[in-house]
Amino acid sequence: MMARINESEFGETPFQRLLGHNIDILNGWNQLGEVLGKDMNLSSQLKEQVRRTLAHSNGCEYCKAKGKPEPHLFDEKISIAVGFAEVFIKQKGDISDAQFDILRGYFSEAEISELLSFITFTTASQYFGAIMKLESMTT
């Protein structure tokens, strides 16, 4: 089954080719994705486990195909970040002060800003894939 719109000729992946109908959006999205995905205040490994957690709730088959969370790799910070991502999904972003304060016990303000930027950007990407009915290459 194809995505809901045809892929453009711009972009390296099926996801990017759907964005590629608008080059400025494709370029900006890719640039932000690259920045958020790299090691900064938070490790790329922590963010990958958060991404996998979000993928299995946000309805994007393409995103799910990249793997499930790997609890055997979790340390305390990854566990807290993944747990927060799960709360974010279940509560649609309606986070109480008490839930937010848990982050303060484990992360700096720079790390919290990065984590929430990553969670919301990743969710937007996964919603885009889900709405477009983007499927994994294996289906």
Q: Domain 14-131 adopts which CATH fold?
A: AhpD-like (1.20.1290)
Q: Dihedral sign for Cα 107, 113, 115, 116, please.
A: positive
Band of the pLDDT at 60, cuts 50, 70, 90?
confident
pLDDT at 137: 66
Record the pTM: 0.92
**90/96 Cα distance (integer angstroms):** 13
Stretch 27-51: mean pLDDT: 96
Residues making up the chain, counted from first to last: 139
| Domain boundaries, given as residue ranges, for the chain | 14-131
**119/1 Cα distance (integer angstroms):** 28
pLDDT at 138: 54
Over residues 61-113, the pLDDT tens digits come to 888 888 899 999 999 999 999 999 999 999 988 999 999 999 999 999 999 99
pLDDT at residue 47 is higher than 60: yes
Band of the pLDDT at 10, cuts 50, 70, 90?
very high
Residues 89/59, Cβ–Cβ less than 8 Å: no
pLDDT at 66: 84
Cα–Cα distance list, 128 to 14, 59, 135 (Å)? 12, 10, 12
**27/31 Cα distance (integer angstroms):** 6
Stretch 107-135: mean pLDDT: 95
Average pLDDT, the chain: 93
